[in-house]
Amino acid sequence: MAEVKEKGTFLNPYVIQMDKFADSLMHLSRTFLTLEDYKGTFSKEEIEDMFVKITDKVCENCEKKEWCLGENRVHTYQMLYEILCTVEEYGAELNVEIKRKLQKKCISAPRFLRETLEVFENAKQILLWNNRIVQNREGYAIQLNSFARMIQYTTRELDAGIFEDEHLEKKLKNHLKKFGVRMLSSVFFVTAEGKYEIHVTVKASKGHCIATKELATEIGRCVGRVMMLEQGERPIIGEEYCTIACVEGARYHTLQGVAKIGKGCEKISGDTFLMTDLPGGKKGVALSDGMGSGEDALRESTMVVEMLEELLEAGFPVKTAIQMMNTALVIGREEVRFSTIDVSLFDLYSGKCEFVKAGASTTFIKRKEGVERISSTTLPIGVIQDIEIESVEKELESGDFIIMVTDGVMDALPVGEQDVLMSTFIQGSNIVNPKELAHHILGQVLEWTGEVPIDDMTVLAVGMWKL
């Protein structure tokens, strides 16, 4: 908020209000992070509490109680501490030396040892649960912070992009009236890339219906740009007012194809892929490989891909979306179940492609002059809280292909030769149909190995061409 007031950049009251909301979320996030931290060992007070619990149970009616808990208390406490240290390092099976030492000093040695182990295990379980709570709290803090930054980014982008043009609005209103459409209001928006987005609230003249596709064409003619309907818009305008969004047409389009086979030639594969149109003239293609193979891996990778699709379609940046998914998977379960994430984000206006990876295999770019490789050494999501996500942006040309593969494809080839062999398979083909190209590459790998797949294998090919 201080930055907003000092710079005087965002005077829109809605932006200021959303900044206050984001500041509150960030403050809550910082509060979560300032609470108690992880504990690796027991404190002196906790060990003392264990000592009291054990001696209350074991020594209550013992004839040597006064001696052990009186003038010899320090040595009794030291004995307990040695047992705890040994258990922590070697488990419940204590070494012979400690057992003999305990038998010499305590007439109720077996019971003392049994109670010590029980109290220690209970205390350790509490310690683990407390650390789990701390981990979950840190995860929620990261989510809150990401959400707050997303709010700030979105409100600033919207406020900077909306503009008023009374002359253009009047011109558009008159133009649509001749076309048989009454316009109540309009909102003009220009993206960071300089592309137009126009929202109009309109209705058809009485007794008429207008195809929204034709409406987008007429709006484009009026503003002098190629306009098309935003994805998911209604097909027809009736006699009641409705709001229609039109976006400037993209310069590129993509076609994609996939080839896959399950472990041992099973029909069920643990690999899942995603192909979806995203806001801002982008195309998202993602590939996820769940831990293991078969139905469990399929269930895991499907959940990851569906979650990613929802976040991307809602407008979340891809890195933020993956980080949020990772946090949800880490804090949401006791067992570790991981999934790789491989995303190619095509900008259909500029022809650029952003590659984002978390534990994913090499991605290949098939160009006219050769094959380019994009590799990553990051961990998959669902393993640790603070995950590293690598991304790189490349400029593509019309006719370039992106080939994404799962670990099963790469692992089927000899270690040290995988990237070279894959590049050879890809470069050696003149196929321009993405589906046929994907099947050709998978067939080449299977032919090279000459064996039944030992893991799920998926090849996803995407071609991009200029309109």
Task: Tell me the DSSP string of 359-390.
Answer: S---EEEEETTEEEEE---PPPBTS-SS---E
Show the CA angle centred on residue 270, arms to residues 272 and 379, nearest 5°. 80
How does residue 393 score in pLDDT terms, banded at 50, 70 and 90? very high
The rounded distance, in Å, linking the Cα atoms of 411 and 457 is 9
Look at strands 181-190 and 252-261 and give their pairing.
unpaired
State the DSSP code for 10.
Answer: -
Tokens of 69: 């808990």
Instruction: Give the per-residue pLDDT at 4.
Output: 41
How does residue 292 score in pLDDT terms, banded at 50, 70 and 90? low
Is the backbone of residue 458 left (phi > 0), alpha (psi -120 to 50) or beta? Answer: beta
Which residues, in sequence order, are bridge partners of residue 255? 463
Per the model's pLDDT, the better-predicted residue between 171 and 249 turns out to be 171
The separation between CA 51 and the C-alpha centre of its own chain, rounded to angstroms, equals 46
Which residues, in sequence order, are bridge partners of residue 461? 257, 403
State the DSSP code for 49.
Answer: H
Residue 292 — φ and ψ, nearest 5°?
A: 85, -145
Cβ 182 vs Cβ 173: under 8 Å: no
Residues across the chain: 467
- Count of alpha carbons within 13 Å of 185, Cβ hemisphere only? 5
Instruction: Give the per-residue pLDDT at 460.
Output: 95
Q: With H, G, I as helix, E, B as strand and everything else as coil, classify residue 195.
A: coil
- Residue with the two structure tokens 């981990």: 135
Q: With H, G, I as helix, E, B as strand and everything else as coil, classify residue 224.
A: coil
Per the model's pLDDT, the better-predicted residue between 205 and 97 turns out to be 205
The rounded distance, in Å, linking the Cα atoms of 66 and 59 is 9
Instruction: Give the per-residue pLDDT at 320.
Output: 83
Tokens of 67: 């001696």
Instruction: Give the per-residue pLDDT at 19.
Output: 73
Instruction: Give the per-residue pLDDT at 434.
Output: 94
Return the CA Rg of the chain: 32
Instruction: Give the per-residue pLDDT at 402.
Output: 96
- Residue with the two structure tokens 């099947």: 439
Provide the percentage of residues in the chain whose pLDDT is more than 70.
88
| Mean pLDDT across 236-257 | 89
Instruction: Give the per-residue pLDDT at 405.
Output: 93
